[in-house]
Structure 1
Amino acid sequence: MQAKRLLALITASLLLGTASAQADMSFNRVASFPVALNAPDAEATSSEIVTATEDGMMLIYSDSPGGGIGFVDITDPGAPVAAGYLVLEGEPTSVAVIGNKAYVGVNTSDSFTSPSGKLVAVDIASQSVDAEYDLGGQPDSVARNAAGTLLAIAIENERDEEAGEGGLPQMPAGFLVIFDVAAASVRTVDVTDVAEVFGEDPEPEFVDFNDNDEIALTLQENNAIVIVNGVTGEVVSQFSAGSTTVTDVDTRRDGALSFSGQQEDRVREPDSIKWLDTERLVIANEGDWKGGSRGFTIMSRSGEVLFEAANALDHYAARVGHYPEARNSKGVEPEGLEVATFGDTQYIFIAEERSSLISVYRDTGAAPEFVQVLPSGISPEGLVAITSRNLLATANEVDLREDGGVGSHVMVYEMAEGPALYPQLISDLDADGRPIGWAALSGAVADAEMPGILYAVSDSVLSSAPAIYTIDANVSPARITAKTIVTRSGDPAQKLDLEGITLDGNGGFWLASEGDSARLTPHALYRVNANGAIVAEVPFPTALRGAELRFGAEGIARTGEGETETLWIAMQREWGDDPKGQVKLLAYMPSSRTWGAVAYPLEAAAEGAWVGLSEITIHGEHAYIVERDNQIGDKAQLKALYRVALSEMVPAEIGTTLPVVKKELVRDFIPDLAKSNGYIVDKVESFAIDASGIGYVITDNDGVADSSGETLFFPIGQID
């Protein structure tokens, strides 16, 4: 155990040292482009694979659900412009550019058992189809060689995951196509019977050329890699991607982040593959059928493992709040890859489908060095580097607009002088060298004496391990230094949905839990000691519960001492006894165990939206209240801080007509949220004012469930 702790400390030190050494040059996001702007009438749009024109001024992405390819003008990379959309007959799966043409692999299959597809040559200037070439099967990845004379297309002929429990073999078999650009000719390369798993059904997935015109091809479900001479079509070699044992990972979907599990002999089943040079390859071990080893591997062209990332991607995702606990059998699911040289340095970029992160490593020729993570949209798949302009672009495939979420985005990053701007909050390692996992921060309070020290809680996303997190905001990025589990009778407390936290004046805390009768979770307040043990439970009064609706306590603050001690609880939305447009600020006095309330006037909601409260903090003579709508992206209109004078907050008896307080706008948060150059997130959930009077804002990332996972943590200066 001591050796493990020492190794973890060394690893953490190296990561911090690397980040510090690279503080003068970093990749940072400069823009996000919602691809629905290219097809505003489409029910669903996506961006899956993205490439760039040879001058680097235009991005082209494949949109499978929309049935076309989209064009994005990035002449100004900080202000992408919708530049056109071309509908193709079928489902575009990948796109590559040679000269003035884009070559698109298009799936036209009628069924899994009758796969078909074509290669479509598109004139970029006119955005029209020049020619089509039958591929004889369902295409997946498309890649070009450096000279622009050859294309390689992986013909997957994918399996039906619902047939025969998704097993192999399923005919017809896939193969590789080599397209000669000048001759406009198609050559088929048979890759059956080269893999050890089900050789008759190779399931080709991803292709890449090296500088010698050799093609590396992954056979994902067969867990194999094939190298083909792109000029002759000869299979040069093949080898297994192998397996590895992954330790210290979270393997249970139990509402807790516990990195003590192990997966033995986990087959890698790589998705993307890239050449690092003519002798080395890097693979993203997403897994598909029976595997996925959660990381990436560098291998020699003969199959020797030169480097194994093991749990590194999972651990870093957990430290920045992006670990996908709700769907974690394959961890962060590394899927897409890009390898590119900026200046004198070659970088490896790994797109993580489930964590919605891009991990950036420096290729050293030996073990790669971690550089940084980049926040992406939801489920990044494709990446393209434009080294001539110091740019990187990602395609993020998920469209959640039908469910009120955000749509697919193409995001643009620039390498420039300055520090990395993300993450804004990162956790330390615990005593065993494992990450302090966190997500979905939903309420915060500041330490009464130590400036920059905050305490935050997580909501029901981590229902099996409700926790209080200690945050040090005196460093950048801010750091979670400790995690205290909330317990009842010695065990992690159940049936909590913590949405608020305040100091109790005696070294412990009062917590507010948002109830949900459908889940048997009570609306209640809980007092815990410094160790997180619940020492008192206060249910909402009967007079209040009679008007219960789903959206309850969203924040708690404390004022006064002794007989005047009062806990103020911000209710998120109107309950059954509230006038429309008014929500309660509840008052509970522990000394007398009595309840009261005042009414808070909400801003008007846009059509189809709602407005509610998400935090309350008391500072000086005012209560500071976060009010927001439930909208995201370009629909977001209200994310703001208001204040109410404490002299206004004279509670009346619940069930009577409540006095309506007057509020004053303190700050509009939307400009702050826009500074990350992503889309506007919906949940500004936490606000705290520290011992020196500095205000801090934290957003709730929903635990990477239908979310990009981004948590924004930023100060807003002195609060008068």
Structure 2
Amino acid sequence: MRIRLGLTSALALAAAAPAHAEMTFNRIASFATPMNMAEGEDKARTSSAEIISASEDGMTLIYTDSPLGVVGLIDITDPAAPKPLGNIDMGGEPTTAQIVGNMAFVAVNTSESKANPSGKLVTVDLATRKAVAECDLGGQPDSVARAKDGSFLAIAIENERDEDVNDGAIPQMPAGFLVKLPLKDGAVDCAGLQKIDMTGLGVVAPEDPEPEFVSINEAGEIVVTLQENNTIVVVGADGKVAKAIDAGKVALEGIDTKRDGRLHFDGSKEALREPDAVKWIDNDHFIAANEGDYEGGSRSWTVWNKDGTVVWESGASLEQAIARIGHYPDARNSKGVELESVDFAVFDGTPLAFIASERASIVGVYDMTDPKAPKLLQLLPSGISPEGLVSIPSRNLLATANEVDLGEDGLARAHVMIYQRSDAPAAYPTITSEGAEGVLGWGALSALAADPEKPGILYAVSDSVYAAEPAIYTIDATQTPARITAKTVVTRGGDAAQKLDLEGITPDGEGGFWLASEGRTDRLTPHAILHVDAEGAIDKEIALPPELLAGEVRFGFEGIAKSGDTLWMAVQRPWKDDPENTAKLLAYNTAEETWGAVRYPLDPAPEGGWVGLSEITLSGDWVYLIERDNQVGENAGLKAITRVPVSAMVPAALDGEIPVVTKETFRDLIPDLAGFHGFTAEKVEGFAIDSAGTGFVVTDNDGVADSSGETFFWSIGPVK
């Protein structure tokens, strides 16, 4: 018998339980959606993982994949090694699947147009993996919820608006509604379908409710969000509307309001909540993620009493926490992190809420012991754009469905991510600005250097993602996670320096730094070396000589290191005058103001990709470099630290024959990256060896653009 605890029961159990080690979630596996395609199918096709559910025994996951028109099944008998069970065609666009017993009930959109919506509920026998029944729903379905006892389903018939008509404004007919469908002996009673009218309830366009998301409590009551109408409706167990709640507005303080390549959390606004996903946490309270997708931008989530009163409001607090771990999507800041999905479950007596950010690709985990004061416990990294969540408390598991597939661009595929709750320490974030003054947002860490005297103190720079305010970050790596303790803006003439793409940093030994700007002439950003003082002010700029610029291509400096009077810069990829599969290591003598170079032998590029350098570091008798390909996930084949003897680094004049040095692989970083249990990241871009001889590595998260936003910072231990 399965025992389900209400919130009050859970609190009593939690109070009575003995003290134990702190429990945390850690990602243990990732499953790319192309894995479910059959042998011989074109796995390059776009696929997705959107809304996700679990079987009652917690051994199988089912997710909707609208681009392929299928539901995908995953065997998680061993959750750390998920296995594909294949796709099942739905004859339309599946939106949500729920499992009761051995049957999956899948809502499928079959609309020929937004103006003429239609849909069906398909019953899938999980034993045979075949569709065995269909039920006409009379409109375009979105969310599906199941009653706790498996006696009925609730389906939001959205009949969504056409965003290309009238700038996407509502009303747009026909109106949506709510469906209540009885289940008898594991089968849908189509004849018993109850259509519950939602018109006249919304506060924006009451004639066009557009029901979005539904949830059912143990009393059989249904809560449904009307997102565009900024309204939440509670439907009683008798199928009659009990309460229509105006979701109102939220006052946001300490947010970034400008999409300008800067991360400044000093703005404010008032925004409509516009709730999306909703979930009961007991018979009297529910939580809602306020995506703010229509006219809002509310960035928040709310705990509600079903009488319509706000019990607790997050405001900008979750967004600020997300910014501190480098996941803030500046390119989307009119709507911020867009909290879209929620889930709730009781794990070992602790009631937990899970709040997913679509744009930041993060899941916040909250202790809901006191619904009036939720406590943020963790921020979990997800794939790109988590759309759905499912908790499996009986197995201490959580899974996310991440909808964005960037395979056409050679980037990450859509994924399902699996997390396990245990007493192991939290593995993420690996680096944070928590504890720094205010909200110190950051991202796109593109280089790393060590303080020459202080063990564990490092410096990083941000690249062109934040070109409007290039910065140097001070990192304390003696803490876990590592802490960004300060941000120093690079300035020119007192203002944030422009036309920089910082990709290298090295201390000058006197409190200042030498910086390398990669450059991109087609965007009027010059290749350059810069010197800044301890306050970040540029006091010297060194341009490339004409004989170098004659052979330039887009890919310039990726790293800078200092040895005496000589600065060494790694050029990422071959320029026009380089032999195939070689790249220059450039030397500039600051005393003599002369240039020289050696050539570095690159591994051959993968089909359709390239191999290049991302960092250069000098330590002892060796010059260390990061050599990598531009591939992600299962296609990634080269992410490595290599090294060249210092004795071989004898620069030749640029107008003569440039020698090719011999390299050796010092460390393969792909196993390190695999240890984070996501897909293999593309941009390993920073490596430094501190004054105690410890090596540190960091990845570049591209400022959360076409990326999960994850930054991995780790130590490889003593470097000998």
User: TM-score, normalised on structure 2?
Assistant: 0.95
Contact 2:199 2:207 in 1 (8 A): yes
Q: Does 1:404 align with 2:410?
A: yes
CA distance in 1, matches of 2:265, 2:143: 34
Query: Which residue of the other structure, out of 95, 102, 114, is the alignment partner of 1:112?
Result: 114
Asked if 1:317 is matched to 2:315, the reply is no
Deviation at 1:92, TM superposition (A): 0.3
* 1:208 maps to which of 188, 199, 215: 215
1:155 to 147, 154, 157: 157
Cα contact 1:458–1:467 (8 A) shared by 2: yes
Mapped partners of 2:657, 2:32: distance in 1: 46
Aligned to 2:241: 235
* Partner amino acid, structure 1, of 2:571: M
1:29 to 27, 30, 38: 27
1:371 aligns with 2:372: no
User: Following the alignment from structure 1 to structure 2, what is the Cα–Cα distance between the partners of residues 100 and 454?
Assistant: 54
| Contact 1:207–1:272 (Cα < 8 Å) also in 2 | yes
- How far residue 41 of structure 1 moved from its aligned partner, in angstroms, is 2.1
Partner deviation per Cα, 1:25-83 (whole Å, 9 max, x = no partner)? 11000000001111252511100001011111110000011100000000000000001
| Alignment equivalent of 1:330, drawn from 323, 331, 335 | 335
Instruction: Tell me the equivalent position of 2:61.
Output: 59
Helix, strand or coil for the counterpart of 2:229? coil
Distance 2:576 2:20 in 1: 55
Q: 1:267-301, CA deviations, whole angstroms, 9 ceiling, x for partnerless residues?
A: 00000001111111111000121113101011111
Tell me the equivalent position of 1:10: none
Q: Could you tell me whether the CA contact under 8 Å between 1:439 and 1:701 is conserved in 2?
A: yes
The structure 2 residue matched to 1:557, chosen from 544, 551, 561, is 561
Deviation at 1:627, TM superposition (A): 0.3
Equivalent in the alignment of 2:288: 283
Residue 267 of structure 1: which of 263, 272, 288 is its match? 272
CA RMSD of aligned residues (A): 1.0
Q: CA deviation at 1:429?
A: 4.7
Q: CA deviation at 1:358?
A: 0.4
Distance across 1 between alignment mates of 2:656 and 2:364: 56
Whether the 8 Å contact between 2:436 and 2:484 is mirrored in structure 1 is no
Structure 1 segment 567-646 matched on structure 2, within 5 A: 567-646=567-646
Q: Which AA in structure 2 matches 1:187?
A: Q
Deviation at 1:540, TM superposition (A): 1.0
Q: Which residue identity is paired with 2:105?
A: Y
Task: Report 1:73-222 matches (<5 A).
Answer: 73-182=75-184, 183-184=189-190, 185-222=192-229
Give, in whole Å, the separation in 2 of the partners of 1:148 and 1:125: 18
Return the alpha-carbon distance in structure 2 between the equivalents of residues 473 and 151 of structure 1.
51
| Contact kept in structure 2, 1:52 and 1:59, CA below 8 Å | yes
Matched, 1:445 2:449: yes
SS of 2:647's equivalent?
A: helix
Is structure 2 residue 345 aligned with structure 1 residue 343?
Answer: no
State how far apart, in whole Å, the 1-side matches of 2:559 and 2:169 are.
49
- The question of 1:537 aligning with 2:544 is answered no
Paired residue secondary structure (1:221)? helix
Are 1:254 and 2:252 counterparts? no
Q: 1:492 to 1:472 in 2, by over 3 A?
A: same
User: 1:300 and 1:514 mapped to 2: Cα distance?
Assistant: 54
Deviation for aligned residue 1:641: 0.6
Question: 1:501-541 CA distances to partner (integer Å, 9 max, x unpaired)?
Answer: 00112110000001111110000000000000000000111
CA distance in 1, matches of 2:277, 2:584: 52
Is contact 1:96-1:143 (8 Å) kept?
Answer: yes
Structure 2 residue 423 is matched with structure 1 residue 417:
yes
**Distance in 2 between the 1:462 and 1:317 partners?**
17
| Partners of 2:171 and 2:85 in 1: CA distance | 43
Structure 1: stretches of 5+ with no match in the other structure: 1-20
Question: Match for 1:333: what amino acid?
Answer: E
Kept in 2, the 8 Å contact 1:51–1:96? The answer is yes
Task: Identify if the C-alpha distance between structure 1 residues 96 and 662 changes in structure 2 by more than 3 Å, giving closer, same or farther.
Answer: same
Query: Which one-letter code corresponds to 1:41 in the other structure?
Result: D
- 8 Å CA contact 1:270–1:292 kept in 2: the answer is no
Q: What amino acid is the match of 2:602?
A: L
Match of 1:474 in 2: 478
Q: Is the 8 A contact 1:429 1:435 kept in 2?
A: no
Structure 2: which 5+ residue stretches go unaligned? 1-18
CA apart distance, 1:592: 1.2
1:674 alignment counterpart: 674
Q: 1:699 to 1:177 in 2, by over 3 A?
A: same
Moved more, 609-618 or 422-431: 422-431
* 1:44 lines up with 2:50 in the alignment: no
Question: CA–CA distance in 2 between the matches of 1:436 and 1:654?
Answer: 43
> Which AA in structure 2 matches 1:665?
T
- Deviation track 1:305-359 (CA, whole Å, cap 9, x = no partner) reads 1111011111111110000001111111000110000001010001100000000
Worse-superposed segment, 309-318 or 371-380? 309-318
Deviations 1:630-665 (A, max 9, x none): 000000000001111111011111132210101111
Q: Distance in 2 between matches of 1:489 and 1:518?
A: 25
Separation in 2, partners of 1:284, 1:519: 39
Give the counterpart letter for 2:36 in structure 1: N
Query: Residues of 2 paired with 1:331 and 1:152: CA distance?
Result: 31
Give the alignment's TM-score, normalised by structure 1.
Answer: 0.95
Contact kept? 1:300, 1:306, Cα under 8 Å: yes
User: C-alpha distance in 2, partners of 1:421/1:378?
Assistant: 19
In 2, distance between residues paired with 1:463 and 1:398?
26
Q: Matched residues in 2 for 1:55 and 1:298: separation?
A: 29
| Contact 1:508 1:527 survives alignment (8 Å) | yes
Q: Report the equivalent of 2:529.
A: 525
Equivalent residue for 2:652?
A: 652
Q: 1:22 deviation in Å?
A: 9.2
1:245 to 251, 255, 274: 251
The Cα shift of 1:572 comes to 0.3
Q: Which amino acid aligns with 2:29?
A: A
- Distance in 2 separating the partners of 1:464 and 1:428: 23
Once residues 378 and 487 of structure 1 are traced to their aligned partners in structure 2, the CA distance between those partners, rounded to angstroms, is 34
Distance in 2 separating the partners of 1:203 and 1:638:
48
> Corresponding residue for 1:427?
433
Secondary structure at the aligned position of 2:193 is classed as strand
**3-state SS in 2 of match to 1:672:** helix
Aligned partners of 1:429 and 1:436 also within 8 Å: no
Write the distance in 2 (CA, Å) between the matches of 1:492 and 1:655. Answer: 37
Residue aligning to 1:699: 699
The residue type equivalent to 1:111 in the other structure is S
Deviation (angstroms), 1:23: 6.6
